[in-house]
Amino acid sequence: MNDRLKAIPRHIAIIMDGNGRWAKKHALNRISGHRKGADAVRSVINVCLELGISYLTLYAFSVDNWNRPVKEVNALMGLLIRHLTTELPAMMKGGIRLNVIGDISRLTGAVQTEISKVLRETEQNKTLVLTLALNYGGREDIVQAVQKLLNARDMGLLPQQDLNKEVIGQYLFTASIPDPDLLIRTSGEYRLSNFLLWQAAYTELYFTDVLWPDFGKDDLLKAVEDFQKRERRFGKTSDQLVEAN
């Protein structure tokens, strides 16, 4: 891989799917699957640091995950708090800055407090921006952006002629980070599940049958190698890309 470092994606997004199926496969409860999935997060972050990837976005909790059993949701919130607390020293050492997208107002006060603490502590870190999508949905993201746009229009801050896709992008939760170059989904499912719908317009998609808790360094490298073989044309022809270079 070293001879192709120039083709490393700048931003990787991951739909971390398969914790429950992993637990069932190993005759464990679903919470155990989520705990094991947290280990995979740590492994993937370390690989991103090794490769020099600048942005990593993880679909940690969707707006639809509230439909899961209360016990499981509460356990996920507890795991999130523990993960943020225990990983903070490593984040500081690795130069990792936490970023959060989604409406976190619905999360428990304890979770919001820990998020605020880690956001504050890591805000000056510059090596890797780790974005957690919490209570996030792609459609909901677009709706809240439109609501903000309408408010700005009502206040006279947005003339009609200024409304374009760049302006809309500035009102999305992801305004501070670039669109993902590569989006990975584990566990053999082939859908976006309401994740980064606007932002993934030209993102390369990679699907693997590997369950998230089993997803490790070799799996991420395989996804990156697949990305490196693709030609990203953004609507242009191959000949146009050659001429531009």
CB distance 22 to 32 below 8 Å = no
- pLDDT per residue over 214-231, tens digit each? 999 999 999 999 999 998
Give CATH for domain 2-140+178-244.
Answer: 3.40.1180.10
Known active-site residue 226:
no
Q: What is the mean pLDDT of the chain?
A: 92
- pLDDT per residue over 25-71, tens digit each? 999 999 999 999 999 999 999 999 999 999 999 999 999 999 999 99
CB distance 36 to 213 below 8 Å = yes
Tokens of 231: 């030609």
**With the CA atoms of 142, 13, 66 and 22 taken in that order, what torsion angle do they form, in degrees rounded to the nearest 10?**
160
Residue 243 pLDDT > 70: no
**Residue of 44, 52, 50, 47 lying closest to 16 (CA atoms):** 44
Looking at 17, 141, 181, 219, which residue is catalytic?
Answer: 17
Relative to beta strand 182-185, strand 204-207 is parallel
**With the CA atoms of 170, 172, 177 and 181 taken in that order, what torsion angle do they form, in degrees rounded to the nearest 10?**
-110
CB distance 54 to 43 below 8 Å = no
CB distance 104 to 84 below 8 Å = no
Question: What stretches of the chain show up as alpha helix (H) in DSSP?
Answer: 19-25, 30-51, 70-94, 109-122, 138-154, 165-170, 217-228, 238-244
> What's the length of the chain?
245
CB distance 78 to 111 below 8 Å = no
- pLDDT per residue over 145-200, tens digit each? 999 999 988 888 877 667 889 999 999 999 999 999 999 999 999 999 999 999 99
The rounded percent of the chain whose pLDDT value lies above 90 is: 86
pLDDT of amino acid 162: 74
pTM to 2 decimal places: 0.91
Known active-site residue 103:
no
Looking at 29, 65, 125, 194, which residue is catalytic?
Answer: 65
The position carrying tokens 């409304």 is 163
The rounded percent of the chain whose pLDDT value lies above 70 is: 91
Relative to beta strand 11-15, strand 96-101 is unpaired
Give the DSSP H or E segment for 105.
none
Bigger pLDDT: 231 vs 20: 20
Tell me how far the alpha carbon of residue 55 is from its chain's centroid: 9
The residue ranges of every structural domain in the chain are: 2-140+178-244
